[in-house]
């Protein structure tokens, strides 16, 4: 019989619409403005008495508190008004001091029964939700110095293997200087080193005693090192941001030496800086023997103690060789980091420890920092940034047996420090230090204005489409408009389920989807009119209209879907957001225009004789 669906198809459509309604509901519960208190490094501790005092001070300042939630790592203070966030943060920061991190936050308000179904609202982008914007600058001078130090270490090892004596190694800007006992040793060393380092310019140096050799990086080599430093830092920063769990972050290069990082929804600038900007790395070195020449050793302090130890200058491996790292606790309940090395790192570690059983091996923690000071230049205040490097020993243990690809690092102060170190090692070390050239927090108030304008644009677009369909197609227009509403619900539900991020371009994609969603119904309804003019009955016209318009509708939407997929694959940031909403909108509109409207038309006309259609 024409225009009748089997029962299972009606039930399937009803189930899809019901699931879409449930998973779109969390978007009706907006996030609450909040202030979050957490620890700056160590374990979190904030007693009830002090928390009550903070609550009283906020209340005295006419800040309307909605609720206070506490867990093992932080305290979340929900507020009724977003305008009170900054005032509350400033008051709490001044009261608590530097031992705590007080940050703006947006807390979910989804009901518990929806959370139990894993339903959550759509993630909003930086332009809607606010977040953190960093402009990072790569220290190109340090990149060259680090590469030269690695090269110098390899050169020393080569010369020792060939039993060529050298007296001193010095790294200067773009060159390495080495001193030898005589010119013959220098010439032999140059021929050996040139084989492994062809990208250096070699020049003899005159010395009062002995002979010297200067090895300078060529301009091409300098450019390659600098490009590698920026690209490697890009990869590392992306890994770190992914570890933070930020949805749709932006990490991209800007100019020859700068990187832009945008973290939507992150209001905790201090915590983001601690992870994104951390330039920490590890070096594994042997402790020097008493008879080791002074030129081959370096002395370092232990962290937070007055002890010192003398280590070999040569590095066994660095944090670059770490393939995985996880925080755990040792048999005494102290925090530690379990390390897994890649193939090359495991081979180097095994080779070094196998021949040095009984010696001590140190884990050297290296961190690049800056000191900023304000000076007056030409009557204007200028910030002068001075980079410096801190090196300290976090572990010094005796090698009991040959180590392989897995071992552990102990001597860490707190579980938080162990977790941060593991994260940094997993995501990879930076090829060169980075410094914050600019940072800013985009507050949620700006996002609220964008959301209001976006919702208004959706409402206007929806209203115009609804009005057109009602005027043009009457009863069938009502059916198309109901399907359009279902389409919007399914689109929101799909974006919520997939964790897609909604941005301003994404809202533009939704508006475009609303316009495109009725295209299929226009084709179907016009085809029904055409079939009726040829003399077919109402039931036959409805059947022919849906059947004969199907191919045209699918072809038109598939071509648009292909374009959206191409935009998603090659685009970044806003372009991706637009492509995501457009792709999902095409799929949901196909379902609603072909199946949902057909089911409603079948229910209205499929079970009765019809002489005239209101179309």
Q: What is the fold of 7-26+443-605?
A: Multidrug efflux transporter AcrB transmembrane fold (1.20.1640)
Q: How confident is the model at residue 23 (pLDDT cuts 50, 70, 90)?
A: very high
Question: With 60 as the cut, is the pLDDT of residue 247 above it?
Answer: no
Higher local confidence (pLDDT), 245 or 407:
407
Question: With 60 as the cut, is the pLDDT of residue 28 above it?
Answer: yes
Q: How confident is the model at residue 270 (pLDDT cuts 50, 70, 90)?
A: low
For the chain, what percent of residues have pLDDT higher than 90? Answer: 8
Least confident span in 209-223, 352-366, 530-544, 567-581: 567-581
User: Tell me, what DSSP letter sits at residue 592?
Assistant: I
How many Cβ atoms sit within 10 Å of the Cβ of residue 239?
15
Q: pLDDT at position 410, please? A: 73
Residues counted in the chain: 615
Q: What is the pLDDT of residues 30-55, one digit of tens each?
A: 888 888 887 654 456 777 888 888 88
Query: Domain locations in the chain?
Result: 7-26+443-605, 32-107, 140-221, 278-441
Q: pLDDT at position 490, please? A: 93
Question: With 70 as the cut, is the pLDDT of residue 193 above it?
Answer: yes
Contacts of 553 (CB under 8 A, 6+ apart): 519, 520, 523, 524, 590, 593, 594
Contacts of 171 (CB under 8 A, 6+ apart): 145, 148, 149, 152, 177
Mean pLDDT of the chain: 82
Question: With 80 as the cut, is the pLDDT of residue 120 above it?
Answer: yes
Q: How confident is the model at residue 385 (pLDDT cuts 50, 70, 90)?
A: low
| Secondary structure of 163-175 in HEC code, one letter for each residue | CCCEEEEEEECCE
Residue range 459-469: mean pLDDT, rounded: 86
Higher local confidence (pLDDT), 18 or 294:
18
Alpha carbon distance 568, 495 (integer Å): 15
Outline where 175-218 has alpha helix (H).
Answer: 183-196
Alpha carbon distance 480, 528 (integer Å): 14
Say if CB 584 and CB 459 are below 8 A apart: no
User: Tell me, what DSSP letter sits at residue 596?
Assistant: I
Question: With 80 as the cut, is the pLDDT of residue 606 above it?
Answer: no
Question: With 70 as the cut, is the pLDDT of residue 471 above it?
Answer: yes
CA proximity to 521, closest of 591, 581, 583 = 591
Q: pLDDT at position 6, please? A: 87
Q: pLDDT at position 1, please? A: 58
CA proximity to 136, closest of 438, 385, 430 = 438
Question: With 70 as the cut, is the pLDDT of residue 267 above it?
Answer: no
Own/partner long-range contacts of 478-483 (Cβ < 8 Å, ≥24 apart): 479/597, 479/600, 479/601, 479/604, 480/518, 480/521, 480/525, 480/593, 480/597, 482/596, 482/600, 483/517, 483/521, 483/592, 483/593, 483/596, 483/597, 483/600
Contacts of 370 (CB under 8 A, 6+ apart): 385, 386, 387, 388, 435
Question: What global pTM score does this model have?
Answer: 0.59
Token duo for residue 117: 């179904």
Question: With 70 as the cut, is the pLDDT of residue 446 above it?
Answer: no
Question: With 70 as the cut, is the pLDDT of residue 145 above it?
Answer: yes
Contacts of 24 (CB under 8 A, 6+ apart): 489, 490, 492, 493, 496
Residue range 408-413: mean pLDDT, rounded: 72
Token duo for residue 582: 């457009």
Q: pLDDT at position 491, please? A: 92
Least confident span in 151-165, 257-271, 552-566: 257-271
Alpha carbon distance 293, 604 (integer Å): 96
Q: pLDDT at position 20, please? A: 93
Question: With 70 as the cut, is the pLDDT of residue 192 above it?
Answer: yes
Residue 378 sits at the vertex; the CA angle it makes with 372 and 384, to the nearest 5 degrees, is: 10
Token duo for residue 391: 């090196």
Q: How confident is the model at residue 14 (pLDDT cuts 50, 70, 90)?
A: very high
Q: How confident is the model at residue 568 (pLDDT cuts 50, 70, 90)?
A: confident
Question: With 90 as the cut, is the pLDDT of residue 511 above it?
Answer: no
Residue range 282-304: mean pLDDT, rounded: 85
* Of the options 3.30.1240, 3.30.70, 3.30.530, 3.40.720, the CATH number for the domain spanning 140-221: 3.30.1240
Higher local confidence (pLDDT), 483 or 265:
483
Say if CB 131 and CB 446 are below 8 A apart: no
Residue range 524-534: mean pLDDT, rounded: 88
Residue range 444-467: mean pLDDT, rounded: 76
Alpha carbon distance 292, 311 (integer Å): 10
Say if CB 584 and CB 494 are below 8 A apart: yes
Q: pLDDT at position 427, please? A: 64
Q: How confident is the model at residue 19 (pLDDT cuts 50, 70, 90)?
A: very high
523 phi, psi to nearest 5 deg: -60, -45
Helix (H), strand (E) at residue 154: helix 140-161
* Of the options 3.40.190.10, 3.30.70.260, 3.40.640.10, 2.60.40.10, the CATH number for the domain spanning 32-107: 3.30.70.260
Second-level CATH architecture of 278-441: 2-Layer Sandwich (3.30)
Q: pLDDT at position 591, please? A: 92
Alpha carbon distance 308, 394 (integer Å): 11
């Amino acid at each position: 019989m024409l225009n009748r669906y089997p029962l299972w198809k009606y039930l399937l459509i009803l189930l899809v619409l019901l699931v879409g309604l449930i998973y779109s509901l969390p978007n009706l519960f907006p996030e609450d403005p909040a202030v979050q208190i957490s620890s700056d490094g160590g374990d979190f501790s904030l007693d009830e008495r002090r928390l009550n005092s903070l609550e009283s001070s906020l209340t005295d300042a006419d800040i309307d508190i909605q609720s206070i939630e506490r867990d093992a790592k932080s305290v979340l203070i929900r507020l009724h008004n977003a305008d009170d966030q900054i005032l509350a943060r400033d008051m709490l920061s001044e009261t608590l001091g530097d031992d705590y991190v007080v940050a703006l936050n947006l807390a979910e308000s989804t009901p518990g029964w929806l959370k139990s179904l894993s339903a959550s609202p759509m993630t909003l982008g930086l332009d809607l939700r606010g977040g953190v914007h960093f402009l990072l600058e790569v220290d190109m001078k340090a990149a060259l110095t680090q590469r030269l130090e690695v090269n110098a270490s390899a050169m020393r090892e080569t010369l020792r293997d060939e039993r060529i004596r050298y007296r001193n190694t010095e790294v200067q800007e773009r060159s390495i200087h080495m001193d030898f006992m005589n010119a013959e040793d220098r010439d032999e060393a140059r021929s050996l080193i040139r084989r492994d380092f062809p990208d250096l310019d070699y020049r003899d140096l005159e010395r009062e005693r002995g002979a010297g050799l200067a090895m300078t990086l060529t301009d091409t080599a300098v450019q390659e090192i600098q490009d590698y430093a920026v690209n490697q830092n890009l990869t590392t920063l992306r890994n770190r941001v992914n570890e933070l769990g930020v949805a749709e972050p932006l990490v991209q290069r800007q100019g020859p030496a700068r990187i832009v990082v945008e973290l939507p929804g992150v209001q905790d600038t201090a915590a983001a800086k601690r992870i994104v900007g951390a330039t920490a790395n590890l070096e594994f070195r042997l402790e020097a023997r008493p008879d080791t020449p002074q030129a081959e050793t370096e002395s370092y302090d232990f962290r937070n103690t007055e002890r010192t130890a003398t280590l070999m200058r040569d590095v066994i491996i660095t944090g670059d060789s770490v393939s995985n790292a996880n925080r755990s606790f040792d048999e005494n309940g102290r925090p530690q980091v379990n390390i897994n090395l890649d193939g090359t790192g495991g081979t180097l570690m095994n080779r070094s420890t196998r021949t040095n059983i009984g010696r001590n091996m140190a884990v050297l923690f290296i961190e690049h920092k800056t000191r900023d000071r304000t000076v007056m230049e030409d009557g204007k205040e200028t910030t002068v940034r001075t980079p410096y490097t801190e090196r300290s020993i976090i572990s010094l243990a005796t090698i009991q047996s040959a180590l392989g690809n897995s071992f552990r690092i102990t001597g860490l102060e707190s579980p938080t420090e162990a977790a941060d170190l593991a994260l940094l090692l997993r995501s990879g070390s930076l090829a060169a230090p980075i410094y914050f050239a600019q940072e800013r927090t985009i507050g949620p108030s700006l996002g609220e204005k964008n959301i209001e304008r976006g919702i208004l644009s959706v409402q206007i677009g929806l209203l115009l489409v609804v009005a057109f369909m009602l005027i043009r197609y009457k009863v069938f227009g009502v059916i198309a408009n109901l399907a359009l509403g279902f389409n919007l619900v399914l689109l929101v539900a799909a974006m919520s389920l997939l964790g897609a991020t909604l941005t301003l371009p994404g809202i533009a994609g939704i508006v475009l989807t609303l316009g495109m969603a009725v295209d299929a119904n226009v084709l179907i309804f016009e085809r029904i009119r055409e079939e009726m003019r040829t003399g077919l009955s109402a039931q036959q016209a409805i059947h022919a209209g849906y059947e004969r318009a199907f191919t045209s509708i699918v072809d038109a939407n598939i071509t648009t879907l292909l374009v959206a997929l191409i935009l998603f694959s090659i685009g970044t940031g806003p372009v991706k957001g637009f492509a995501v909403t457009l792709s999902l909108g095409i799929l949901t509109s196909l379902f609603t225009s072909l199946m949902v409207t057909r089911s409603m038309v079948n229910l209205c006309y499929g079970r009765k004789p019809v002489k005239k259609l209101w179309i």
